[in-house]
Amino acid sequence: SREIRLASRPEGEPQPSNFELAETDVPALGEGEIVVRTTFMSVDPYMRGRMNDAKSYTPPWQIGQALDGGALGEVVESRAEGFAQGDIVVHGLGWRELAVLPAKHAAKVTPIEGVSNSAFLGVLGMPGFTAYAGLLDVAALEPDDVVFVSGAAGAVGSLAGQIAKLRGNPRVIGSAGSPEKVAWLTDELGFDAAFDYHDGKVAKLLQDAAPDGIDVYFDNVGGEHLEAALFAFNTGGRAALCGAISGYNGNPYGVRNLFLAVGKRLTLRGFIVSDHADRRPAFLEEVGAWVRDGKVKFRETIVEGGVEAAPQAFIDLLRGANTGKMLVKF
Ligand code: NDP
């Protein structure tokens, strides 16, 4: 089986040379374990942090060792009760063709008719749940809130904006990195307004899109976007600080107006989705129904080519090559 290992740590933008493709023996199957053949693997922005040798909420990847991350696959062999050949599972040993793991570290998925199983890595998986928990619990969405979502054409952002619309919020604004993405937000996903953040100062673009201010900010980007949201917030505004991708390759933009949080009585709350596991059943019920009924729209940018295509897919994700969830197909 082939796997991707960390060859070196990047400075700035990751390069193909930071990754290495290696052949490895598949270990013998122990009691309670399963062998899973990867069909889709997720590349996610948080993985950039795992390339650094720095303490964080997930441990750094180690040089010379296989990478890991979200993946979906088919059980090809099982020595675990309740798991049989042909079962579809989500697990955390991506970046490899075959994964051997304790079955308790895998979650079986129940396929939905007419929906690709890859959805369980996106809209019905970790990114979708991040949008749900972040918007409803962390930002504590209220019905009349004007909502601003950055990174709005990505996996998390595209669902966050749609949840606000489906919950009946009057005005949802998104930002993204290209005219095509902006058009997708307003023409297909139901955002009330959207802008391309390359078109000027984010603070000005946001002010034009939200003349009466914003009440909730779902922050995927950080930096200049967060600074703009602080200016645009109404009194009592709430931000769910989900990510800060504008700074992941280093040299983050310094937000200069944090003091506005005082007079506006803002709540700025960071979160990590895994801390909200108790809300997963509610998420699967509500968003699962919307997906089944076609009320939530979602896109996947699927890179063909299997394990060896994964490093470039990850590099391209950080550059915004994706609309919706970025996945690698094996
Ligand atoms: P996306 O699908 O949104 O992909 C990343 C996107 O980021 C790109 O498509 C690109 O879109 C955008 N981007 C890249 N560079 C910049 C930049 N300098 N400024 C603005 N946008 C940029 O990824 P996800 O939906 O998986 O993740 C979105 C965010 O959520 C990330 O910050 C991630 O770290 C965070 N996250 C946090 C979790 C948590 O538990 N807190 C869990 C999961 C994700 P564009 O073309 O618009 O620039």
Nearest-CA residue for atom 18 of ligand 1: 246
Claim to verify: residue 141 and residue 27 sit in the same structural domain: no
In a structure prediction context, what are the per-residue pLDDT tens digits for the chain, which is 330 residues long?
Answer: 999 999 999 999 999 999 999 999 999 999 999 999 999 999 999 999 999 999 999 999 999 999 999 999 999 999 999 999 999 999 999 999 999 999 999 999 999 999 999 999 999 999 999 999 999 999 999 999 999 999 999 999 999 999 999 999 999 999 999 999 999 999 999 999 999 999 999 999 999 999 999 999 999 999 999 999 999 999 999 999 999 999 999 999 999 999 999 999 999 999 999 999 999 999 999 999 999 999 999 999 999 999 999 999 999 999 999 999 999 999
Claim to verify: residue 103 and residue 166 sit in the same structural domain: no
Query: Which residue segment(s) compose the domain that 244 sits in?
Result: 126-274
Claim to verify: residue 139 and residue 236 sit in the same structural domain: yes
Please identify, by atom number, the ligand 1 atom nearest to the C-alpha of residue 243. 32
Claim to verify: residue 130 and residue 243 sit in the same structural domain: yes
Determine the Cα–Cα distance for residues 2 and 4; give it in Å rounded to an integer: 7
**Secondary structure (3-state) at 89:** strand
Task: For residue 203, give the nearest of 228, 239, 174 by alpha carbon.
Answer: 228
Claim to verify: residue 88 and residue 148 sit in the same structural domain: no
Claim to verify: residue 6 and residue 77 sit in the same structural domain: yes
Claim to verify: residue 194 and residue 165 sit in the same structural domain: yes
Nearest-CA residue for atom 45 of ligand 1: 177
Q: Please give the ipTM for the structure prediction.
A: 0.99
Using an 8 Å Cβ cutoff, are 183 and 157 in contact? no
Please identify, by atom number, the ligand 1 atom nearest to the C-alpha of residue 45. 34
User: Considering the entire predicted model, what is its pTM?
Assistant: 0.98
Among the residues of 210-275, which ranges form H helices?
223-232, 260-263
Please identify, by atom number, the ligand 1 atom nearest to the C-alpha of residue 245. 32
Question: Rounded to the nearest whole angstrom, what is the distance from the C-alpha of residue 154 to the centroid of ligand 1?
Answer: 6
Q: Give the pair of three-digit tokens for residue 216.
A: 């909730």
Amino acid at 321: A
Claim to verify: residue 106 and residue 173 sit in the same structural domain: no
Claim to verify: residue 227 and residue 250 sit in the same structural domain: yes
Output the ligand 1 site: residues, CB below 6 A.
Answer: 44-46, 127, 130, 151, 153-157, 176-178, 181, 220-221, 242-243, 245-246, 271-273, 317-318, 320, 322, 326
Claim to verify: residue 249 and residue 306 sit in the same structural domain: no
* 209-225 exposure pattern, b = at least 16 Cβ within 10 A, e = fewer: bbeebbbbbbbbbbbbb
103-108 contact pairs (CB < 8 A, 24+): 103/32, 103/33, 103/34, 103/78, 104/32, 104/80, 106/34, 106/36, 108/82, 108/83
- The residue to which tokens 């197909």 are assigned: 329
